[in-house]
C-alpha cells in the first residue's frame, strides 16, 4: 500500500515537472542551481525577459508563488558581469536585495522591512574587506569579518591550501571533464564544519565532486559562523567555487 502511494506521488511529481518545463519553468535545488528531472525541486525559475544585454527570471515556489526576481547583466560575449537578486515575502514586499559586480568583485546586500532598508553589507571580495551600514547611519563602517554569512577565518590560508593540495582527477582529465564545482560548506553556530554538499552536482563530473569533498574535509582551518540580523550565531552554509580547467 505504501509502495503504491509512493509511486503515485512520484508519478505526479514527474508529471508536474514535465508540465512546468513545457511552460519554460526550470527546476532548482535549495542552492538555486538547476537540477535534472528526477531530482527534488525546491524552487523554479521562469525566464520573463531576455535580450543581448540581460536575462531576467521570476523565482517561484513549488506551488508557483513568486518569491524572487533575478536579473543577470551580460557583456558583449554573453558573460555575466553583474547580477541582482531580490527576494519577496508572501505579500510581494521586498525583503532582501543582493547586487554582485563580478568585474569589480563587490557584493552589496540590503535587508528591508516594510520596504525600508534596515541593514546593508558591502563586501570587497578581492581584499576580503567588509563594511556594514545600519539604517540610521550615513556611512559604511569597516568590520573584521563577513557579518551575515559563514566564512573562512583566514581566506588566504584556504587559497594557499587549495593551490597546494588540489589534484586534477585522472578520470576527469581522461574524459575531458572541467568546470566550476560549487561546494556548500555547512558551518555550525559554534564555527565548526559539519558537512559538505555539492550545490551543482547534477552537471559536474563525479570525479571532480569527489575531489572537492576530499579537499574540504582535509582542510583544518577555522570558520566564522553565520549571524542573524540580531548578531546571534546560527547554523548555515556558504558556497565555495572550485574551478577545474584542462590545459
- Domains, the chain, in order of start with CATH, read 1-103 (no CATH), 149-247 (3.30.2420)
Alpha-carbon torsion, ordered 99, 101, 104, 105, to 10 deg = 80
pLDDT at 180: 95
pLDDT at 6 over 50: no
- pTM score, two decimals? 0.76
The pLDDT of residue 8 is above 60: no
Please tell me the predicted confidence (pLDDT) of residue 209.
97
> Taking residues 82-88, what's their average pLDDT?
95
SS3 105: coil
Q: What is the pLDDT of residues 133-174, one digit of tens each?
A: 766 666 667 665 555 688 898 888 999 999 999 999 999 999
Cell of residue 126, nine digits: 578581492
Q: Map grid coordinates 553556530 to a residue.
A: 189
Q: Hunting for cell 550545490 — which residue is that?
A: 199
Q: Where are the beta strands (DSSP E) in 9-143?
A: 25-28, 43-50, 54-60, 66-74, 80-88, 94-101, 106-113, 116-124, 129-134, 141-143
Amino acid at each position: 500500500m505504501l509502495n503504491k502511494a509512493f509511486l503515485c506521488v512520484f508519478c505526479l511529481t514527474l508529471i508536474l515537472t514535465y508540465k512546468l518545463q513545457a511552460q519554460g519553468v526550470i527546476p532548482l535545488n535549495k542552492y538555486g542551481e538547476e537540477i535534472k528531472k528526477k531530482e527534488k525541486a525546491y524552487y523554479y525559475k521562469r525566464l520573463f525577459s531576455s535580450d543581448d544585454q540581460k536575462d531576467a527570471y521570476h523565482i517561484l515556489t513549488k506551488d508557483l508563488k513568486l518569491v524572487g526576481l533575478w536579473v543577470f547583466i551580460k557583456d558583449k560575449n554573453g558573460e555575466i558581469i553583474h547580477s541582482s537578486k531580490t527576494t519577496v515575502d508572501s505579500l510581494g514586499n521586498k525583503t532582501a536585495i543582493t547586487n554582485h559586480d563580478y568585474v569589480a568583485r563587490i557584493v552589496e546586500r540590503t535587508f528591508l522591512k516594510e520596504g525600508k532598508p534596515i541593514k546593508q553589507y558591502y563586501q570587497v571580495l578581492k581584499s576580503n574587506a567588509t563594511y556594514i551600514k545600519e539604517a540610521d547611519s550615513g556611512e559604511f563602517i569597516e568590520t573584521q569579518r563577513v557579518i551575515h554569512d559563514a566564512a573562512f577565518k583566514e581566506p588566504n590560508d584556504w587559497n594557499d591550501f587549495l593551490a597546494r593540495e588540489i589534484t586534477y582527477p585522472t578520470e576527469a582529465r581522461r574524459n575531458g571533464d572541467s568546470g566550476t564545482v560549487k561546494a556548500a560548506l555547512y558551518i555550525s553556530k559554534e564555527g565548526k564544519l559539519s558537512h559538505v554538499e555539492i550545490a551543482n552536482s547534477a552537471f559536474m563530473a563525479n570525479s571532480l565532486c569527489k575531489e572537492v569533498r576530499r579537499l574540504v574535509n582535509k582542510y583544518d582551518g577555522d570558520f566564522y559562523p553565520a549571524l542573524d540580523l540580531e548578531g546571534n550565531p546560527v547554523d548555515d552554509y556558504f558556497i565555495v567555487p572550485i574551478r577545474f580547467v584542462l590545459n
